[in-house]
Amino acid sequence: MRCAEGDDTRGPGGDDQIGIATKTRAKPKKPSQFKVLMLNDDYTPMEFVVMVLKRFFHMDLEQATRVMLHVHQRGVGVCGVYPYEIAETKVNQVMDFARQNQHPLQCTLEKA
């Protein structure tokens, strides 16, 4: 890897000290991704879970039904993968909506 340390404050005239600092990160970090996970429970109605998946994760009926049944049978399933802030917002939206409807549905984040 090439390291241009020291070159970054060099002015157009070859002066070592003055000029515009143009240093950029050598290896830009892409924002890390997070899985939004849905957890199974014994009380939340299947129809409600399907509605949540359609409403907050933009799934169609077929997709939402498939994910809901996967969670029902396996205990946990992935609703989607997003940058942290979006994933966190989705989790909060799902939990708030479930609470408003008095369902114990749980949703959580995991680093992808």
Question: Under the rule (CB under 6 A), what is the footprint of ligand TYC?
Answer: 38-42, 44-46, 49, 68, 71-72, 105
Compare residues 30 and 74 and give the one whose CB is closer to ligand TYC. Answer: 74
Tokens 């942290």 map to which residue? 84
Compare residues 49 and 87 and give the one whose CB is closer to ligand TYC. Answer: 49
Assign residue 75 a region (left: φ > 0; alpha: ψ between -120 and 50; beta: otherwise).
left
Q: How far is the CB of 51 from ligand TYC (least distance, A)?
A: 12
Tell me the sheet residues that pair with 83: 33
Query: What is the dihedral angle through the alpha carbons of 97, 100, 103, 105, rounded to the nearest 10 degrees?
Result: 30
Query: Which residues are within 8 A (CB) of 101 and not within 5 positions of it... i.e. 6 or more apart?
Result: 48
Q: How far is the CB of 37 from ligand TYC (least distance, A)?
A: 9
Q: How far is the CB of 105 from ligand TYC (least distance, A)?
A: 6
Q: How far is the CB of 1 from ligand TYC (least distance, A)?
A: 45
Compare residues 39 and 86 and give the one whose CB is closer to ligand TYC. Answer: 39
Query: Which residues are within 8 A (CB) of 108 and not within 5 positions of it... i.e. 6 or more apart?
Result: 36, 37, 39, 91
Compare residues 47 and 60 and give the one whose CB is closer to ligand TYC. Answer: 47
